[in-house]
Amino acid sequence: MELSVSHAQSRFSRASAELRALLRLATPIMIAQLSNTAMGFVDAVMAGRVSPRDLAAVALGNSIWIPVFLLMTGTLLATTAKVAERFGGNRQEETGPLVRQALWLALVVGLTGALVLLNARPVLQLMGVDPELIAPAMGYLQGIAFGFPAVALYYVLRCFSDGLGRTRPSMVLGICGLLLNIPLNYILIYGHLGMPAMGGVGCGWASGTVMWFMLLGMLSWVSRAPVYQPSRLFERFDKPQLPVIKRLLSVGGPIGIAVFAESSIFAVIALLIGGLGATVVAGHQIALNFSALVFMIPYALAMAVTVRVGQALGRGEPRAARFAAGVGIGVALAYACLSASLMLVCRELIAKMYSPDPAVIAVAAMLIVYSALFQFSDAIQVAAAGALRGYQDTRATMIITLFAYWGIGLPVGYALGLSNWLGEPSGPKGLWQGLVVGLTCAAVLLSVRLARSSRARIRM
């Protein structure tokens, strides 16, 4: 009996220590992610105060650029896992050459992403978006494209810092970026200091400018702080080395595709309802924007789990890696209980923060109910995916994600919302029901894969 009690106390003490270490890493990431997502919240609120048309244009622009952004930054996330593994194994001097190659990769994907945004008009037309919304949506995307190369380079430096366990820089720069975004929005949306009133389009140019500011801030921080100097990142200039870049892509490419698969299903839903009018699009954008804001907490936890798992594997401690993954999923689930409860109770109040229009509020409040329902499965799947990134087991994650979202979630949502296959079409409500199904499927399959990967590493 005494041994049993002692074992339980030891396990509790170990879990407490892991939780503290995880939260030390995750808290600055959470603040950084919330700051970045809050920029989208500010864009939506300020554009919504101009008109439903401006809010709808921002919503459509977001449905294009956010999936492209997540594909790009997901691909670059391989940097975190590889840096964490080297740092855990006391090989920090190897991180400098690796990150220099990741910066070359970032430059290419950043420029490519900008070109995609600048040529997005056919996508909007193909999806049957209201012609009156296409021009302002494209103007918004042009501003975002201006900042894409900068944010790609920033993200590699952020992953480098996170992999070393230094997450404070992204927090500080995220807060500064948000504080800069608000006055820039005010100037460009409403036309002050000699600038023309651009409406929702101004949000895009404000965000693009902030992206360049954050890159310059991270460059200054990483080049000056002593903790980064053993990596010798800026000691020399390296030409692109294709073998190293290919290894980064072999891990990062599946991450990017997996993240894109999840985010793009939300984007496709926004485009599918684009023909239902500005009110429905605006209501969907409110629910989606707030869901994204809430999602940043488990997403930040997942990024911290990647670091903890990667560093444990670098130290040659696979059991510690598995334990870190389990604690991360538990914390994410606890948060989901809180977020789901608050969303159900405060759904109308949340919608009113974005828009005074009663019709928009009614649509948004209805959709926030479904967002609350998928909080639990979303928390599990993102934490499990973060742990699998730490194991650098990303190909299976990609396949599972594509199957769950595009093979299950989107077809179910389309059948319920826009077709008469399963009865009278229910519009956006049915599409969001499909999201619940897809996310639940992803949570189950990713959890099974994580259990198998962790057991395989322990047996090695």
Cα–Cα distance for residue pair 263/390, rounded to 1 Å: 21
Work out the average pLDDT over 190-214: 81
Percent of the chain past pLDDT 70, that is, above it, reads: 93
Any residues with CB less than 8 A from the CB of 235 and at least 6 apart, and which?
Answer: 96
Contact (Cβ atoms closer than 8 angstroms) between residue 19 and residue 102 = no
Cα–Cα distance for residue pair 248/261, rounded to 1 Å: 20
Predicted TM-score (pTM) of this structure: 0.79
Cα–Cα distance for residue pair 367/287, rounded to 1 Å: 6
Highest mean pLDDT among 272-276, 338-342, 367-371, 431-435: 338-342
> pLDDT value at position 196?
65
pLDDT for 154-167, tens place per residue? 999 998 998 888 88
> pLDDT value at position 186?
82
Confidence of residue 97 (pLDDT cuts 50, 70, 90): confident
> pLDDT value at position 384?
93
> pLDDT value at position 220?
92
| 59 pLDDT above the threshold of 90 | no
| 448 pLDDT above the threshold of 90 | yes
pLDDT for 199-210, tens place per residue? 777 888 888 999
> pLDDT value at position 442?
92
Output the average pLDDT for the chain: 84
> pLDDT value at position 3?
46
pLDDT for 407-421, tens place per residue? 998 898 888 877 777
Confidence of residue 284 (pLDDT cuts 50, 70, 90): confident
| 347 pLDDT above the threshold of 70 | yes
Q: What's phi and psi for 76, nearest 5 deg?
A: -80, -10
> pLDDT value at position 155?
92
Work out the average pLDDT over 312-324: 87
**In one letter, which amino acid is 135?**
A
Work out the average pLDDT over 321-333: 90
Confidence of residue 108 (pLDDT cuts 50, 70, 90): very high
> pLDDT value at position 104?
93
Measured N-to-C along each axis, helices 52-76 and 95-118 cross at an angle, to the nearest 10 degrees, of 150
**In one letter, which amino acid is 115?**
L
Q: Is the dihedral of CA 122, 125, 130, 132 positive or negative?
A: positive
CA distance from start to end of the chain: 33
> pLDDT value at position 152?
94
